[in-house]
Amino acid sequence: MVGFFKRFRNDSLAMSVSFFLGMVILLAILAPLIAPYDPTAQNIIAKFQGPSLAHWFGTDQLGRDVFSRILYGGRVTILISLLTMVVTILIGTILGVLAGYFRGWVDDVIMRICDIMLSFPSEVLILAIVGIMGTGLTNIMVAMVIAKWAWYVRMIRAIVISFMDSNYIRFAKVAGCSTGHIIRKHLMVGAIGEIAVLATLDTATIILNISALSFLGLGVQPPTAEWGMMLNEAKNVMITNPGQMLAPGMAIFLVVAAFNFLGDSIQEALNPKINKGLKGQRYSLYQALFGREKMVTE
Amino acid sequence: MKQYIVKRLLWTIPILIGISFFAFILINLSPSDPAEVAIRVNEITPTAENVAQMREQLGLDDPFMTRYLSWLGNALQGDFGNSYVNNKPVAEEIAKALPPTLYLSLVSLLIIVVVSVAVGVLCAVKEDSFTDQIMRGIVFVGTAIPGFWAGILLMWLFAVKLKWLPTSGMMTPAAVILPAVTLALGYISTYVRLIRNNMIQNKRENYVLYGRVRGLSEKTITRHIFKNSLQTSLTALGMSIPKLIAGTVVIENIFAWPGIGRLCVTAIFNRDFPMIQAYVLIMAVLFVFCNLFVDLGSVWIDPRRREA
């Protein structure tokens, strides 16, 4: 674990991405303090203004301040995504550890249920659940947890099984450690890194899903600001004011890309050897922009 | 191998039963009474009397298993009930909307295959060159963009600004281009990566060295490498097909494409339960069969597994 933090700190891309995400999350939390305007306050006379000192990102079709709406939108999108991710990971970890640690019939039952859940494409499952329960944020979250947990269980079970084969766990068992102790002190300590990679990468997917659903009008309902919904509104005024599409789209793009980079960085810091052979794909953009090989010091 | 195939085929049966059961209980999870919804969508005020009547008409008072079995029996015969909204058979509506969706997915699949093979091979052959880096940079940016944003940006550029392509609908043959490209974008990076990395791995194999020693031309060698690198991509592609069809939901809504994705979202807004149920069932069954074919196909392709 010490090596992990050292490698992570020495990876400048990882550090800048973490810093960026930290800032974004902070801005989202502090939105009510920072936002210069009420995100839902309309001022129809001042509609479609370009960027100015008063309105950094301009105003939208109802004269609402786009910068404030982006801040508040991030609050909804990011915080809800993180919450969804935590719930899914929790379910995934509990069931995954149960299945992977105890094996036998427990494993069989859990995995067969997962197989059935995984035979639905998750997009369809989310749509189905939102369709039946109705639109809205809570329903989207429930839908996403239901659609994703099985996948996590399967992945975390695989991780747990790979650790169960290691000698130190066998030793702990032989030494007579209690099951709870082995899971808490031996298994989870090792597995937590891999789970963190899954969680980070999946947060990106969740953000995309939430904004896609809101874009379709199935998620967050107006007038609450949300990035996907802002894009939907921007789409309606595309012919007269194409500039409206920029801010929310860019926000989603940057945050999703940042989470993806972060997931890859954690992965690389955890297992520096694995990615060596393949030449980290994530540097493609970095290389294209800066034209040099990035150094990851061991 | 025979044993594997039989096992794999048999395993499909409980999965299909599970899926149908799940699609069925979805409606029962609904917070509102389906009978009330069915009445409300026709803009009739529900009263105790007409709700009771509708419940009987929809057979909602029967025991759970009876309802499930009769629903399943009808579904197996292609009868998914009638839409709450216009009272037309759901199967008919879906049959009408399915061809546009399949057409869109097929065009998209073609774009994915052509672009990823071209870019992937180019990147692998010119590994780490400037071209490779630029290509990967472009692919990365192109695919990290959320599909719906890319969709409206492309629509704005090519339909509103340049007026080269129609904004929406499927009136002209060119209308398929924008939605298909948007749909393909997200998948291209995966396949460029897969093809590139597999080819680069294969490049270091002994058979390539042997080929060089024999004096084969670089073109022939690249062809051999390419052939040997396809396996993973083919498996992944097979698994992507149902995902691609499911992914049309957002795209169809942006470009007003008259397919099942749009049908489903409209059904969600109208709370048209039989339609949603049929959509879920059909998509899931499609997914199961695609996975089945991919699994069996990959065994058949790989001689090592064929003999085992």
pLDDT digits (tens, 9 = 90+) for B73-103: 877 777 777 777 777 788 888 888 888 888 8
Interface test with B, best of A81, A114, A120 (most B CBs within 10 A): A120
Q: What is the pLDDT of residue B307?
A: 62
DSSP state of A245: G
Whole-angstrom Cα Rg for chain A = 22
Token readout for A270 is 């955890």
State which residue of chain B sits closest to A278, comparing Cα positions. Answer: B197
Higher pLDDT, B165 or A150: A150
In B, which residues are within 8 Å of A289 by CB distance?
A: 137
Q: How many residues does chain A have?
A: 298
A273: confidence class by pLDDT, cuts 50, 70, 90: low
Q: What is the pLDDT of residue B111?
A: 92
Give mean pLDDT, residues A74-91.
Answer: 88
Contact B287 A121 (CB under 8 A): yes
Q: What is the pLDDT of residue A287?
A: 40
Q: How many angstroms separate the CA of residue B53 from the nearest CA in chain A?
A: 22
Residue A5 to residues A16, A163, A186, A280, A294: CA-CA distances in angstroms?
15, 21, 19, 19, 18
Task: Flag whether residue A131 sits within 8 Å of chain B, measured between CB atoms.
Answer: yes
Nearest-angstrom CA–CA distance, B21 and B16: 8
Give mean pLDDT, residues B13-25.
Answer: 81
Residue with tokens 């009876």: B66
Higher pLDDT, B300 or B118: B118
Q: What share of chain B is helix, strand, coil (3-state, %, to 5)?
A: 80, 0, 20
Is the pLDDT reported for residue A101 higher than 60?
yes
* Nearest CB to B27; choose among A123, A132, A285: A132
Containing H/E element for A190? helix A188-216
Q: What is the pLDDT of residue A35?
A: 67
Torsion sign over Cα A235, A236, A240, A243: negative
Instruction: Rank A29-33, A190-194, A276-280, B177-181 by mean pLDDT and report only the highest.
Output: B177-181
Give mean pLDDT, residues A142-160.
Answer: 87
Contact A211 B146 (CB under 8 A): yes
Contact A284 B137 (CB under 8 A): yes
Q: What is the pLDDT of residue B95?
A: 84
Q: Phi, psi at residue A40, to the nearest 5°?
A: -110, 0
Interface test with A, best of B149, B244, B250, B251 (most A CBs within 10 A): B149
State which residue of chain A sits closest to B13, comparing Cα positions. Answer: A116
CB B218 within 8 A of CB B61: no
For residue B5, with 0-12 CB atoms within 10 Å meaning exposed, 13-18 middle and 19 or more buried, which class applies? middle
| Average pLDDT of every residue of chain B | 80
Nearest-angstrom CA–CA distance, B222 and B211: 10
In A, which residues are within 8 Å of B268 by CB distance?
A: 127, 130-131, 135, 218
Percent of chain A with pLDDT over 90: 3
Percent of chain B with pLDDT over 90: 2
* Residue from A27, A101, A38, A100 nearest A68 by CA: A38
Residue B165 CB neighbour total at 10 angstroms: 17
Lowest mean pLDDT among A59-73, B11-25, B110-124, B219-233: A59-73
A282-292 pLDDT, tens per residue? Answer: 444 444 333 33
Higher pLDDT, B157 or B47: B157
State which residue of chain B sits closest to A205, comparing Cα positions. Answer: B146
Q: pTM score, two decimals? A: 0.80
Residue A29 CB neighbour total at 10 angstroms: 14
- Phi-psi bin for A103: left (phi > 0), alpha (psi -120 to 50), beta? left
In B, which residues are within 8 Å of A217 by CB distance?
A: 269
B240-253 pLDDT, tens per residue? Answer: 887 888 888 888 88
A160: confidence class by pLDDT, cuts 50, 70, 90: confident
Token readout for B249 is 């939901």
Give mean pLDDT, residues B179-184.
Answer: 86
In B, which residues are within 8 Å of A138 by CB distance?
A: none
B41: confidence class by pLDDT, cuts 50, 70, 90: low
* Nearest CB to A123; choose among B156, B197, B249: B249
Predicted ipTM of the assembly? 0.76
B113-144 pLDDT, tens per residue? Answer: 999 888 888 888 887 788 888 887 887 777 67
CB A199 within 8 A of CB A85: yes
Contact B26 A256 (CB under 8 A): no
* Residue from B97, B196, B141, B24 nearest A289 by CA: B141
Interface test with B, best of A122, A123, A205 (most B CBs within 10 A): A123
* Nearest CB to A288; choose among B136, B246, B268: B136
CB-defined contacts A:B, below 8 A: 144
Give mean pLDDT, residues B284-305.
Answer: 77
Contact A218 B14 (CB under 8 A): no
Contact B146 A256 (CB under 8 A): yes
Higher pLDDT, B103 or A222: B103
Higher pLDDT, B222 or B61: B222
Higher pLDDT, A189 or B144: A189
Give mean pLDDT, residues A252-275.
Answer: 77
Residues 29-88 of A with CB under 8 A from B: none
Contact A242 B283 (CB under 8 A): no
For residue B106, with 0-12 CB atoms within 10 Å meaning exposed, 13-18 middle and 19 or more buried, which class applies? middle
Contact A124 B193 (CB under 8 A): no
Q: What is the pLDDT of residue A87?
A: 93
Q: What is the pLDDT of residue A146?
A: 87
